[in-house]
Amino acid sequence: MQNTAVMPQGAQAEFNTLVPDEYRLALLEYWRIVMRRKWAILSFGLVIGVLALAIAMSMTPVYRSSVILMMEEGKTSVVKIEDVIAVTKNREYFNTQTEIIKSREVGLRTVRKLELWKNPEFDPRIQQKKKAGLRDIFLGKMGFLEDLGIISPQKKEWTEDELVQAAYGRLLGKLTVTPGRLSLLVTISFDSTDPEISANVVNAIANQYIFADRDGKVNSSQEANSWLQERLQGLRDNLMVSERKLQGYRERSGIVEMGGSVQQFAGQQISEVSKNLIDAKVRRAEFESAYVQLKSVKDGDYSAIPLVMRSPQVTEAKTREASAKAAVSQLAGRYGSEHPRMVAAQGELVTAEDYLKRQYQIAVSGISREYEAANATIKALESALSSARGALQGVNRLSSEQQVLERDVSTNKQLYELFLGRAKETSTTSENMQTAAVARVVDKGIRGVKIAPKVGQIVMIASILGLFLGAVIAVLRENLDNTLKTTESAEQKLKQPLVTTLPLMSTKERTSAVRFYSDKRDSLFAEAIRTARTGILLSDLDADCKVIMITSSIPGEGKTTVSTNLAMALSQTQRALLIDADMRRPQIARSFELPPGSPGLSNLVAGTVSADKCMHLIEGTHLTVLPAGDIPPNPLELLISKSFKLVLEDLKTKFDVILLDSPPVELVSDALVLSAVVNSTVFVVKANSTPVPMAKRAITRLQRAGGRVLGIVLNQLDFKDASRYYGEQSAYGKYGYDSYGYKTDGYAGYGVKKEKPSKSKIKLAKPSEVVPESDTQPQSA
């Protein structure tokens, strides 16, 4: 029943390759939504385009004129002056010049040159008059409010400076300066409603920028020259004073270039002593570790000390000892301990061990002597180093004042020579600054060219944005609607299998909905009921009796209609029993036109009436109905009683399938109690009405109560509307429970309006025909 847009085969293959699987379904869903609403989206885009066209045609045309400048680089100075006036010719320099073109000084010079405040486009007084006219129209004559200070008074007179400042603000807002990306060119553009004004403004801005830069450089050069001359006089005086101090010190102390050689000799001596001291400390560190280890040896075994074991004599003694031990070991297997050869070998072993001990002692003594000698050498070198440092400090103290005076003279001389050179460069450059220019005009501005409004571009962009906005609105509307509109959405959103889908009935058809299956067996409704019957029969194949509960989230979703028609369908092939378990608001008795006060489930569970009087066989069918009976004060206690379970077990032996029409899940807990004693539950939802979160919550509550949901029945689905996979938004409203409060006599406001009974009377069979196999009554509680 679904009519979705199909993508071309090649595009579909490319789409499947580029888009991951986890996003493919979502993107395809968005595509279907857009295609379903394509005519509405196209109409919305067309309306936006027409509005954009009307707005664009009513806009005032704007003209643009441009002038191109080329920045002069490295041609304006005879000698280098960049260090004086801080000019750098690089990319940052050109970006800086671009900002200078838009500076206030250049703008104000342009405004005064062209007297732009006299032009209506720049004159702030014209705008003031327009605002004052609107103000008078909407507020009337409000002079007394101005006198009281409630509203600000209108400006009556403008000075020339204020007009210039206001015109500059309008000029800056329409000025564009664009530097060349890989060139020295700068483009200056100005937008105006007058093509002549746009050309005059850009040409004036270019000229005023060049003049302003030239004046600025001349002024900067003159200021730098004046400052350098003042500094030169002070530096010259400082140099003469420092030279006189140095000469006077030399004459008083009789020093004639003697400090340099003595200091050099003392420095070399300190360097040599320091090097020898480092070598001595390294040697002491080499023996210090072995010396410490020797102190810890108690049994005379020095084999763990590497420095002792590296001694050639110790190595030779170890070799002799090893040879003697090998000889003794070899002779021990052949001779006894008293054998002469064995005695001689053992003697050699003792001699080798004694020799090894002596070599150990010699090596240990050598290490101790070397360690003590290294300590003595270090002390001597440290003393010599201290003496050399003292001598050098004495030499430095004698010549420190002379060195200070010499540095002072050298510094003053360097500063004086540096400033003298800069002063000469500045003086020479100032003479050529009048003819130097920061830039020259390459392409002069001409009469402005119309740039706005671009009607075609505006209409195209507005239409595209309208189409995009329409698509977004369609997707948002689809996603914000949380009701069920199709069988596919029902299964996807509720995560439950679909038992069947019942079509939407007209108001006239709903009056006989209880027997719609039997009255119109060839209708689409009857076929859907048969589909549900097949699903129920195929479930729990090994069960002797299937007990199925029919429920929904809230009243008005059609669970009673589903129960009655499904029971009629099942009764054609099975011994079927329909129980009205909704004892708060029973509907089965009224639907089948049973006599008022007919006994039913409550009477049977209480044991006050026998089973054959409580159950009624509908004439013309094989369906047996067990109405609710007398409404008890608290139906929930009756349903959780042991008597109810015994009644249900007894009924299982007499029927092949039992259907229970239970109360809604979201209102009371009866359905949760019944879900634990039935085989499975069929959950009814109403298309375009039941909110998905409410249905999910109800199903979850059933599952947590121990119930098994067989599937869902999507009721009242408009098949024509579902064929487009979209329907008008349900006017369901809010889902509060205020109108479904619990009462002993039912739910206040539960269900829909009472329907008039069908004209076709439903005849009942005799009580003896109800129970076909057994007349055994269930035990009372």
Q: What is the pLDDT of residues 571-616, one digit of tens each?
A: 988 899 999 999 888 988 888 888 888 899 999 999 888 888 999 9
Under a CB-based contact definition with an 8 Å cutoff, are residues 670 and 664 in contact? Answer: no
Confidence of residue 423 (pLDDT cuts 50, 70, 90): confident
Can you give the length of the chain in residues?
781
Which is more confidently placed, 565 or 435?
565
Say how far apart CA 120 and CA 124 lie, in whole Å: 8
Q: Cis link prior to 595 (omega < 30° from 0)? A: no
34-64 pLDDT, tens digit per residue, is 887 889 899 999 999 999 999 989 988 999 9
The span from the CA of 416 to the CA of 439, in Å, is 35
CB 736 within 8 A of CB 706: no
The DSSP letter of residue 557 is S
What's the pLDDT score for residue 125?
85
pLDDT tens profile 657-688: 999 999 999 988 999 999 999 999 999 999 88
**What is the structure's pLDDT at 490?**
85
Q: pLDDT by residue (tens digit) across 183-212? A: 889 999 999 999 999 999 999 999 999 988
Burial class (CB in 10 A: 0-12, 13-18, 19+), 156: exposed
Residues 100 and 216: beta-carbon distance below 8 Å: no
**Cα 300 from Cα 297, distance rounded (Å):** 6
741: pLDDT strictly greater than 60 = no
Tell me 434's DSSP state. G
Q: How far is CA 47 from CA 56, 59, 462, 467, 592, in A?
A: 14, 19, 10, 10, 56
pLDDT band at 394; cut points 50, 70, 90: low
560 vs 141: CA distance, rounded Å: 73
| C-alpha dihedral sign at 293, 297, 301, 304 | negative
Model pLDDT, residue 430: 61
Containing 71, the helix (H) or strand (E) segment is strand 62-71
User: What is the band of 493 on the pLDDT scale with cuts at 50, 70, 90?
Assistant: confident
Average pLDDT over residues 627-634: 89
Exposed / middle / buried, residue 360 (Cβ in 10 Å: 0-12, 13-18, 19+):
buried
- Asked whether the CA dihedral 714, 717, 719, 724 is positive or negative, the reply is negative
Q: What is the pLDDT of residue 570?
A: 92
Q: Among 97-111, 256-270, 386-400, 553-567, which is the least confidently predicted range?
A: 256-270
Nearest residue to 426 via CA among 226, 172, 592: 226
Which segments of 679-770 does DSSP mark as H helices, in order?
Answer: 692-704, 719-722
pLDDT value at 760 more than 60: no
Confidence (pLDDT) at 749: 41
Calculate mean pLDDT across residues 169-174. Answer: 91
Q: CA 275 to CA 287: how far, in whole Å?
A: 19
Residue owning tokens 């997707």: 475
Asked if the model's pLDDT at residue 754 lies above 90, the reply is no
Q: State how far the Cα of 599 lies from the Cα of 58, in Å rounded to an integer.
A: 81
Q: Quote the CA–CA distance of 329 and 331 in Å, as a whole number.
A: 6
The per-residue pLDDT for range 426-484, each reduced to its tens digit, is 766 665 555 567 888 999 999 989 898 888 999 999 999 999 999 999 888 877 778 88
Neighbours of 258 (CB within 10 A): 13
Of 268-282, 464-478, 514-528, 656-670, give the lowest mean pLDDT range: 268-282
Q: Give the number of other CB atoms < 10 A from CB of residue 292.
A: 11
Lowest mean pLDDT among 8-22, 334-348, 569-583: 8-22
Q: Contact 515/522 with Cβ under 8 angstroms?
A: no
Q: Compute the distance between CA of residue 288 and CA of residue 278 in angstroms, rounded to an integer.
A: 15
Q: What does the pLDDT look like over 98-157, one tens digit per residue?
A: 899 999 999 999 999 999 998 888 988 887 776 665 555 555 555 555 555 555 555 558
Three-state secondary structure call for residue 740: helix
Higher pLDDT, 592 or 367: 592
Give residue 515's pLDDT: 78
More confident: 257 or 214: 214
Residue 765 has pLDDT above 50, yes or no: no
Nearest to 544 by CA among 452, 653, 681: 653
Q: Of all residues in the chain, what percent carry a pLDDT higher than 70?
A: 73
Query: How many CB atoms are closer than 10 A to CB 404?
Result: 13
Q: Give the residue with greater pLDDT, 494 vs 312.
A: 494
- Report pLDDT for 392: 63
Average pLDDT along the chain: 77
In order, the DSSP letters of 274-288 are HHHHHHHHHHHHHHH
Assigned token pair, 739: 């109108």
Would the pLDDT of 367 be above 60? Answer: yes
* pLDDT of res. 146: 55
Q: What are phi and psi of 548, to 5 degrees?
A: -115, 130
pLDDT of residue 349: 77
pLDDT at 258: 47
Q: How confident is the model at residue 335 (pLDDT cuts 50, 70, 90)?
A: confident
How far is 179 from 181, CA to CA, in rounded Å? 6
Distances, alpha carbon 92 to alpha carbons 88, 184, 252, in Å: 8, 12, 57
Distance CA 122, CA 191 (A): 12
Q: Name which of 626, 607, 606 is nearest 615 in CA terms.
A: 626
Q: Is the pLDDT of residue 763 over 60?
A: no
Q: Which two tokens stand for residue 458?
A: 């505006």
Six token digits for residue 314: 């110790």
Residue 433 confidence (pLDDT) = 57
- Mean pLDDT across the stretch 333-344? 77
What kind and span of H or E run contains 780? none
> Hey, what domains does the chain have and what are their CATH numbers?
9-59+455-480 (no CATH), 62-121+158-223+437-452 (3.30.1890), 259-432 (1.10.287), 495-723+744-769 (3.40.50.300)
How would you label 161-173 residue by residue, b for 16+ Cβ within 10 Å and e otherwise?
A: eebbbbbbebbee
